[in-house]
Amino acid sequence: MKTLLKIQSSIFSGGGQSTQLADRFVAAWREANPDGRVIVRDLAKEPVPHLDAARFAAFIAKAEDRTPAQRDAVAHSDALIAELKAADVVVLGLPLYNFGLPSTLKAYFDHVGRAGVTFRYTENGPVGLLTGKKVYVFAARGGFYAGTPNDTQTPYIRAFLSFIGMSDIEFLYAEGLAVSEASKQQSMERARAAVDRLAEAEREAELVAA
Ligand SMILES: Cc1cc2nc3c(=O)[nH]c(=O)nc-3n(C[C@H](O)[C@H](O)[C@H](O)COP(=O)(O)O)c2cc1C
């Protein structure tokens, strides 16, 4: 049985354009994987706390030395990591806010990027430990950024996820959503068609591999 983890980070939860594209992909995945399990992590409804010095101290303290409060902080991070580890497929809804990723998603990344747990340093450099997963990113933007130096998200998401072992990443963009209503409709229509093509291609690739 395969597991898909959907991480949505729109402040509008299910109403976000990035979430709607992610949901469309997940619906197609469910059809292709009727026995599959889908886990949803909504970072707007259940935000992860910002990383601060106390929390970071808890992460790096030896297990036997942790205070009860530190154990709670680590248990939260461990649970998020366990969810990621269990996933064969990760679907990420990615809005663009003020030229960057949602702060809730950054806080989440700060909880799952843990030395010795999701990556480790070796003599040959860092090694990611969350391997063997496929990641699909559904990005929604008011303007046009893909392929330009102003796209701060694509290289960052690729770098961070690859660092923890998740380097097989597919990006799909819906852009120009704030230009006009017509531009939004056209862009979302194109993006929905691209989601359908992507889901179909993945389904065919899985059939060939099976
Ligand atoms: C607080 C906020 C900040 C935004 N900042 C940008 C921005 O810097 N650049 C841009 O092109 N669009 C920006 N937008 C437009 C969003 O990228 C667009 O509405 C997109 O659909 C957001 O994804 P979502 O619908 O999944 O939340 C912003 C929207 C909001 C609500």
Tokens 């949901």 identify what position?
23
Contacts of 194 (CB under 8 A, 6+ apart): 172
Query: Distance, CA 118 to ligand 1 centroid (Å)?
Result: 30
Q: In whole angstroms, what is the distance from residue 23 CA to residue 86 CA?
A: 20
Residues with CB under 6 A from ligand 1: 10-12, 16-19, 95-99, 140-143, 177-178
* Residue type present at position 127: V
Task: Look up residue 25 and give its two tokens.
Answer: 């992909």
* Residue type present at position 73: A
What pLDDT digit, counting tens, does each position of 128-156 carry?
999 999 999 999 999 999 999 999 999 99
Half-sphere exposure of residue 32: CA atoms within 13 angstroms, side-chain side: 21
What pLDDT digit, counting tens, does each position of 192-210 carry?
999 999 999 988 987 888 7
User: 92, 98, 181: which to mutate for ligand 1, most atoms within 8 A of CB?
Assistant: 98
What is the value of pTM for the model shown? 0.97
What pLDDT digit, counting tens, does each position of 47-100 carry?
999 999 999 999 999 999 999 999 999 999 999 999 999 999 999 999 999 999
Task: Look up residue 133 and give its two tokens.
Answer: 């997963």
Q: What is the pLDDT of residue 198?
A: 96
